[in-house]
Structure 1
Amino acid sequence: MAQGWLRHLAGDRIEVRSAGSAPGDAINPVAVQAMAEVGIDITAERPKILTVEAVQDSDAVITMGCGDTCPIFPGKRYEDWELTDPAGQGIDVVRRVRDEIRARVETLLAELLPDTAPTEA
């Protein structure tokens, strides 16, 4: 969902990579539904394993409960967003997580691109 929001709000101003330390086999269908409700299609995305190279090539690394399994490189910006895990949750919980992720993405964008506003408010 974070990748969907970031692409939606930042357009091509930021390169987005999304991966997990223990990705599932498929994207959560309830997350797909929640994002579709706000006009964002994430159906083409597939879970990917987080690689050392992906972290090394990134300026900012946002984790969601990655803990000690995520590689750390000096000079990178790291944030761990503590969120309710949407896996196995109903649509009402996933909507709240979706909306919290949007707010965090908007804050991140304002910090990374302070002279620009999101493409959509």
Structure 2
Amino acid sequence: MPDDGTRLPDVVFVCVSNRGKSVMAEGLARLDAADSLHATSAGTSAKLGASPNELSTQVLDEVGVDISAHRPRQLTDDLMRAADRVVVVGTAEVTPPDGVTVEVWDVDEPSARGIDGIDRMRLIRDELRSRIADLAVRLH
């Protein structure tokens, strides 16, 4: 909570499976913007009971974020209504209920340039960190 006692904005990061980009964004927001926003994540087609993507987990471990215990959850209208901002990270298709603010981040896809594996995930992680820093400033 901010020093002035006001409530932090609630942000839901969304991707398709809630095993990669959205959970990475959630973890990075908790690391870099915990004093500016409250982060959670969900998927439009969540892989319930699954674990986070191995490479996502590895690149977040490199910066001190542990997402290994995360379990995907399905995006719902109620979850979106409870959020101050819904941020779509990547290609997920989201139809928000009336009154819900959705922001779409067209995250670079390094694999389109032949960059795969851990190098791909590091580039995505670094882009997400930059976008989260900007979001925290805009919402604060």
| Same structural fold, with TM-score higher than 0.5 when normalized by the shorter chain | yes
Report the Cα distance in structure 2 between the residues aligned to 1:23 and 1:102, rounded to whole angstroms: 23
Aligned length: 109
- Give me the whole-angstrom Cα distance separating, in 1, the residues matched to 2:128 and 2:134: 10
| Helix, strand or coil at the partner of 1:18 | strand
Contact 1:55 1:71 in 2 (8 A): no
SS at match of 1:42: coil
4+ long deviations beyond 3 Å: none
Q: Out of 65, 69, 73, which is 1:40 matched to?
A: 65
Once superposed, what is the RMSD of the aligned Cα atoms? 1.9
Look up the SS of the partner of 2:102 in the other structure. strand
Alignment correspondent of 2:78: 53
- Equivalence map 1:1-121=2 (5 Å): 1-11=24-34, 13-24=36-47, 25-64=50-89, 65-67=91-93, 70-83=94-107, 84=109, 89-113=116-140
The percentage of counterpart residues that share the same residue type is 34
Going by fraction, where is strand more abundant, 1 or 2?
2
* Alignment gaps of 5+ in structure 1: 114-121
Flag the structure with higher helix content.
1
TM-score by length of 1: 0.80
Gaps of 5+ in 2: 1-23
Task: Supply the distance in 2 between the matched residues of 1:76 and 1:85 (Cα, whole angstroms).
Answer: 30
